[in-house]
Structure 1
């Protein structure tokens, strides 16, 4: 038999490696293209999300070409498959009911999961920053629900969105054509983290994946439809997570369970969610991947409302998260895990967007709200009046925290990675206020009263350090004639009143019918501690 020389052997090995890669790519391609949009019959208009135009090169960009590029670099596909097998799949062993035998473990049912104590850091942190950033940031028109407004059935802003597309884009433009323009060219994770740190926030939540299905990390389950494959060519989740934690902030990830136009999800939906192909192939593997790779402090779930939690396998995932995940002792979850779950089950309750009940709640809750009154994503057409003033932002924060909630304040960066000046200004103003008054916010707990009965512009918090309890009256408007009347506090012999940032004790008198009258001395403009919302600290109250 003819004996091969070294060059022939090397050539044979390379050929075998190439054939192996081709086989892997073939099955990936078959999976991604198995369900065609022409087969859908639910009334939506669909694009092919895997065929886009690279506007920088003026040529077609599609998944076939991208996979061919991967073939040219066999090491990339080998590492890609290795990551799936070694890092993610072994971690997906779903817990069973037998886990209830161990009293330190949580069974996959809401009764058991709701008994898990909320990690202390979340209640102490109080303030977070929410970031809505994705392909919707490219058109930056209407809202982050741009695709739905353009293509969705019974969309509320369909006429305006279609007119916008007709005016600005060619007739055959698809949603996926926005992907190459999601450049993030000016994104600097360190600078973002510095902004968030200076805002006074203690945690940050980034949209890892919104309803469009595009992932801001190189997900093994969103091949060619992620921030490393097309668009920024960066791992946005990884970069921001590292920078945020460098500033000693907690890092959470928003993940949409459902996707607007994923064929497997739409097929499950047509089957009345009696099948779980999308959940098993996409939604749940992504969540396990996010947890194992990035170890988030918060899993902020969304997009759950069309199906029950049994379809999503929510309790199985959360039980694994609490029992066996690398963040089992520190992770926090919200309540968006099935259409009958919201505002009932989860680590904390969020109920609805901008949830702000104005009264004390029995369970820990969060008010996720946005500085732009009309959108969570960046809008180029927004006017200054569309954004919350700092006064309104502080009012919402104080109301929320007085009633036992956390506040998650949303901003929407632009497609190029810049944060608009109005967002930067609001965050800077908030940070300026918290530097003076953070004592009344962080580590605080609700007091006996949330809102004063006499002065509706005053909200209360309480903080206990050692044996001393301090009650904070946060006045959102400067007291008329420098006199502040409060009905809630009951004074005693050792009651002391100061204004945070102005340490001179203030004179006060007890109201015969209960309450206190505080006389505020004249304070010059240069000595006044802050520009908005003044905090009066009271110690030695008999009802503290």
Structure 2
């Protein structure tokens, strides 16, 4: 039934690019074992032998590269629901590796050598330990010998118990949204359809997240040091349905105006004031650690962005974390004039009523650029530890139990920012 007769890779690439995404992750193989490319280790159970009769991975990578501006990545499921070799290994308590030796490990080498993805999103690993999956062998090869050794990043799903321990970026769990800073690069992987990671024929309009929720998730995520990976499920005949396309293109239009607060930014010394979330950038990074988790607050160097998710009913925006002075400037992105900002009860308040409503961007959320705030020394990571939100090693206390052991070959921690928003199906 999977025919993909209407699949147009150039149209897919156009939607992805205009969503504002900077990296893209395609499912090369999911848990049923069907590969979206002509695998030598999945005979007669791949997209060339059965169904579409075309290399979907290759076609889409070509279109993504042609469109430009988006990094190409691949999702890969380690295990397969119905594979007898895997079932036998599981029955043997993973003391045998027939499935890994004959299927999953050579397929991992295959997708890297054939398609050279810049993201490898491993999944389906929880059934066995990382030694069973030969994860250490694969990652050592990936970072030292593979054709993408200098550009690739990987997630943390390499064996049972590895979540939040090993990887260029951590996922912790699907829909991970801690609400506070996490000092290691992480990712919030969420679905556009609230009910499924795939496509549902019974999906209704109410099941699809509105753009306001997507912007809220984006703001919450990047304010706390994460990236947002937004999942969309295409149809069996190869289409992205109109309601998904509408959400993605609308998000992209919002980013055209407000991308300055998203792309290339870092967390600030504060993450939020109720439903206002902050990111930051610096005019000059000279003297600053390039691997820093957050930008320090320097009056002359730091620029802060406030994501306003709810318009105040009285037109006055109160920001307790903002330390303003008579030199502080506030300007809404997409708006030409500065806004009145004054110190208020140890923080600041902005008179949004001063905006000419005819020039106000028609959006579900707004971003205010703040310059020349008072210098302030605060470490949000240490603050989160003191509040019990992070362990002494920097792991979220309300996620899985973690330890601080490092894996030497995971050297691509600081390069994964491209640039805070990804697209996944």
TM-score where L is the length of structure 2: 0.83
- Native 8 Å contact 1:489 1:543 kept in 2: no
Cα distance in structure 2, aligned partners of 1:538 and 1:404: 19
Residue of structure 2 in register with 1:354 after alignment = 175
Cα distance in structure 2, aligned partners of 1:210 and 1:353: 16
Q: Secondary structure at the match of 1:481?
A: coil
Aligned-residue CA RMSD (Å): 1.2
Residue of structure 1 in register with 2:127 after alignment = 306
Among 197, 212, 217, the alignment partner of 2:37 is 217
Determine which structure has the larger helix proportion and give its number.
1
Among 63, 75, 79, the alignment partner of 1:254 is 75
Cα distance in structure 1, aligned partners of 2:374 and 2:362: 29
- Native 8 Å contact 1:433 1:530 kept in 2: no
Q: Secondary structure at the match of 2:272?
A: coil
Residue of structure 2 in register with 1:205 after alignment = 25
Residue of structure 2 in register with 1:463 after alignment = 281
Asked whether 1:491 is paired with 2:311, we answer no
Q: Secondary structure at the match of 2:105?
A: helix
Residue of structure 2 in register with 1:473 after alignment = 306
Q: By how many angstroms is 1:386 displaced? A: 1.2
User: 1:497-544, CA deviations, whole angstroms, 9 ceiling, x for partnerless residues?
Assistant: 100000201111112x31111112454554212311111100001137
Q: By how many angstroms is 1:359 displaced? A: 0.7
Cα distance in structure 2, aligned partners of 1:368 and 1:399: 13
Residue of structure 2 in register with 1:534 after alignment = 366
Bigger drift between 239-248 and 195-204 goes to 239-248
- Native 8 Å contact 2:71 2:118 kept in 1: yes
Q: By how many angstroms is 1:360 displaced? A: 0.3
User: 1:412-469, CA deviations, whole angstroms, 9 ceiling, x for partnerless residues?
Assistant: 00011111111111101101110110000010100011111xxx11000001133732
Asked whether 1:514 is paired with 2:333, we answer no
Cα distance in structure 2, aligned partners of 1:345 and 1:530: 42
- Native 8 Å contact 1:265 1:278 kept in 2: yes
Residue of structure 1 in register with 2:422 after alignment = none
- Higher-Rg structure is 1
Cα distance in structure 2, aligned partners of 1:188 and 1:306: 35
Matching of residues 217-296 of structure 1 within 5 Å: 217-248=37-68, 249-296=70-117
Higher relative contact order, chain-length normalized (CA < 8 Å, sep 6+): 2
Q: By how many angstroms is 1:284 displaced? A: 0.6
User: 1:311-360, CA deviations, whole angstroms, 9 ceiling, x for partnerless residues?
Assistant: 00001101111111100111010000001111111111001111111110
Asked whether 1:381 is paired with 2:202, we answer yes
Query: Which blocks of at least 5 consecutive residues in structure 1 are unaligned?
Result: 1-180
Q: By how many angstroms is 1:493 displaced? A: 4.1
Cα distance in structure 1, aligned partners of 2:160 and 2:147: 28
Q: By how many angstroms is 1:390 displaced? A: 1.0
Residue of structure 1 in register with 2:193 after alignment = 372
Asked whether 1:331 is paired with 2:142, we answer no
Query: Which blocks of at least 5 consecutive residues in structure 2 are unaligned?
Result: 285-299, 377-425
**Runs of 4 or more consecutive aligned structure 1 residues displaced over 6 Å after TM superposition:** none
Q: Secondary structure at the match of 1:516?
A: strand
Cα distance in structure 2, aligned partners of 1:439 and 1:208: 32
- Native 8 Å contact 2:320 2:347 kept in 1: yes
- Native 8 Å contact 2:339 2:355 kept in 1: no
Q: Secondary structure at the match of 1:259?
A: coil
Q: Secondary structure at the match of 1:204?
A: strand
Q: By how many angstroms is 1:405 displaced? A: 0.3
Residue of structure 2 in register with 1:171 after alignment = none
Cα distance in structure 2, aligned partners of 1:316 and 1:415: 36
Cα distance in structure 2, aligned partners of 1:481 and 1:543: 29
Go from structure 1 to structure 2 and tell me whether the alpha carbon gap of 1:384 and 1:286 turns closer, same or farther (over 3 Å shift): same
